[in-house]
Structure 1
Amino acid sequence: MIEVNELSKRYGGTSAVEALSFTVRPGQVTGFLGPNGAGKSTTLRMILGLHRPTGGSVTVDGRPFHERPRGLRHVGALLDAHDVHGGRSASAQLSALARSNRIPQRRVKEVLGEVGLADVARRRVGGFSLGMKQRLGIASALLGDPPVLLFDEPLNGLDPEGVKWVRELFRRLAAEGRTVFVSSHLMSEMENTADQLIVIGRGRLIAAESLAEFSARGTRRSVWVSTRDAAALRDVLVAEGAAVDRAGDELTVTGLTADRIGELALRHTVPLRGLHTRSASLEDVFMELTADSVQYLAGASR
């Protein structure tokens, strides 16, 4: 379990993280979301003891991580796939980590096989693609068979097969009772993978709840309608104050419920082929709830 309590980090007059509190529990995949500059990486580094907090505290299974000897047995982490010695082989890289953490050398071969790098174990890491380095970083995190795992953008550079494999890996690790904390900007993957979400903006907590609870907070729901009299129905719905996008015989309607659209279609004798409500996607809800927290906005005036 990871417990963050009133955690803050300031750099001079700039606040990167401000009074942040949340808990990441075992047995589930917890996604860590926020716009660029929200403080996600700073928070992860404070969890691992790489940055000292200005205020507050963070513990891993009840203790600050920096107090634990042989840390890879307690927490496995992938923060930067490029943070490896390019002149070493994959096997040598993991062997050095194993020795420094008193992990049996047999684990090196085991984790290289698990992440799909057994055939390139003796190749120099400097010649690896980004996706291969991501796999090596995941192998490093798994090396000590730890109960807590942190991943920062683990899907960068992976092909579709690799993305599917990582998704299944995270779910398996969580099913084993481990704490799995994943920072990612890929909303579709978080939608497919995460059970719980921690969402921050400008260093402050926006949400700490289940994926379903967070998705339900969105207000941008729409209704899909199919009818051969799309033009006529569009005029009726617009007159009722709805916003309507038309694509052939299909309409996307916001501002009216599916029940109300059905009533209006019946009243105006417009036959419907299909009618259902579309819930907002995770990306839609995220964009809506973090709109005031975006630090780097494309197209913003200078």
Structure 2
Amino acid sequence: MIDVSAVTKRYGRRTAVDDLSFTVRPGVVTGFLGPNGAGKSTTLRVILGLDAPDAGGTTVCGVPFASLPRGLRHAGALLDAQQVHGGRTARAHLAALARSNGLPARRVAEVLGEVGLDEAAGRRVGGFSLGMKQRLGVAAALLGDPPVLLFDEPFNGMDPEGVRWLRRLFRHLAAEGRTVFLSSHLMSEMESTAEELIVIGRGRLVAAEPLRAFAARAPRTGVVVGAVRAGELAGPLTAAGAAVTAEGGERLVVTGLPAARIGALALEHGIGLHELTTRTASLEEAFMELTADRVEYPARAAR
């Protein structure tokens, strides 16, 4: 478990994290979302003891991470896949981490196999693609077989096979009862991977809830109705309290009534339907709606 309690972190006059509190539970993949400059990376660094907070504190498995000897046994992290000595081989990099954390040498081969880098183990990291470096970073995070795992933008540079592998890995780790905390700007991947969300903006908490509940907070876009006599259906729908917008000759977009009620009205008036689809907001739409006033570097609208 990860606990963040009333954390504030400043860099000069700029407040990166502002009285932030949340808990990341084991057994589920928890996504960490926020606009650029929201304080996500700073929060992860504070959790791992790399930056000291100006106020508040964090714990990993009930104690400050910096106080834990041989930290890789307690928490593994991938914060920046590029921060690896380019002159070392993948095997040498992991072997050094294993020795410094009192881990058995066999773990190096095990995690290299787990992330698909067996054949690249003897190559220098400087020649790796970004996707390969991401895999090496995941291997380092898994090295100590820890109960807590943190990943910052792990999908960057991954090809489709790598993205699919990561999704499965994160779900598997959570199913084993581990705490999996995942930061990403790729909403489609977060929507496919995370079950819980922590959302921040300008260093403050916006939401801490299941992904489905967060997406449901955005306005729904209505029910798409397809009917041969769509124009005849508009009147009864409006009379029942719905707002109706025509979308092509045979389609309507209806808000204010559920799909079941729309179907019942169509049947009552003898109008056959060939489409009745509820549109709901995607995670991206919900995120944009609920963090619109928390964007630190808003761009002007495209011309």
TM-score normalised by structure 1 residue count: 0.91
What is the Cα-based RMSD across aligned positions, in Å? 2.3
Where does 1:92-111 land on structure 2 (aligned, <5 Å)? 92-111=92-111
Partner residue of 1:15? Answer: 15
Which amino acid is the alignment partner of residue 6 of structure 1? A
The within-5 A match list for 1:116-135 is: 116-135=116-135
Q: Which amino acid aligns with 2:280?
A: S
Consecutive unaligned residues of structure 1, counting only runs of 5 or more, are none
CA contact (8 A) 1:76 1:146 kept: yes
Whether the 8 Å CA contact 1:29–1:179 is kept in 2: the answer is yes
Deviates more, 1:101-110 or 1:242-251: 242-251
Give, in angstroms, the shift of residue 256 of structure 1. 4.9
Identity over the aligned pairs, expressed in percent?
Answer: 67
Q: How does 1:99-248 map to 2 (within 5 A)?
A: 99-230=99-230, 242=243, 244=245, 246-247=247-248
- Aligned equivalents of 2:30, 2:297: Cα separation in 1: 25
Paired AA for residue 259 in structure 2: A
Query: Contact (CA 8 Å) 2:3, 2:24: kept in 1 or not?
Result: yes
Which residue number corresponds to residue 64 of structure 2? Answer: 64
Taking the aligned partners of 2:158 and 2:126, their CA distance within structure 1 comes to: 17
1:49 aligns with 2:54: no
* Alpha-carbon distance in 2 for matches of 1:80, 1:247: 48
- Of 241-250 and 179-188, deviating more is 241-250
Paired with 1:292 and 1:267, the residues of 2 have a C-alpha distance of: 45
- Matched residue, 1:283: 284
SS of residue in 2 equivalent to 1:273:
strand
Gaps of 5+ in 2: none
Report the Cα distance in structure 2 between the residues aligned to 1:14 and 1:295, rounded to whole angstroms.
12
Partner of 2:58, secondary structure, is strand
* Residue 37 (structure 2) aligns with: 37
Moved more, 239-248 or 174-183: 239-248
Shift of 1:212: 2.3
Counterparts of 2:76 and 2:235, CA distance in 1: 58
TM-score, normalised by the number of residues in structure 2 = 0.91
Q: Supply the distance in 2 between the matched residues of 1:124 and 1:235 (Cα, whole angstroms).
A: 70
Alignment check: 8 A CA contact 1:237 1:244 kept: no
Mapped contact 2:32–2:197 kept (Cα < 8 A): yes
Shift in CA distance, 259/172, structure 1 to aligned 2, threshold 3 Å: closer
Q: Deviations along 1:127-172, whole A, 9 cap, x unmatched?
A: 1111111101000100111111000011111111111111111111
Q: Which amino acid aligns with 1:205?
A: L
What do residues 190-226 of structure 1 show as CA deviations (whole Å, max 9, x unaligned)? Answer: 2221121111111111111112222222223321111
Instruction: Name the amino acid aligned to 2:37.
Output: G
Residues 230 and 246 of structure 1 are in contact (CA less than 8 Å); yes or no, is this contact kept in structure 2?
no
> Residue type matched to 1:67 in 2?
S
Separation in 2 of the partners of 1:276 and 1:151? Answer: 36
What is the CA–CA distance in structure 2 between the aligned matches of 1:291 and 1:269, rounded to whole Å?
A: 44
Pair 1:122–1:241, CA change in 2 (3 A): same
Corresponding residue SS for 2:228: coil
Contact 1:98 1:108 (C-alpha < 8 Å) held by counterparts:
yes
Instruction: State the shift of 1:92 in Å.
Output: 1.0
CA 1:267 to 1:175, structure 2 compared with 1: closer, same or farther past 3 Å?
closer
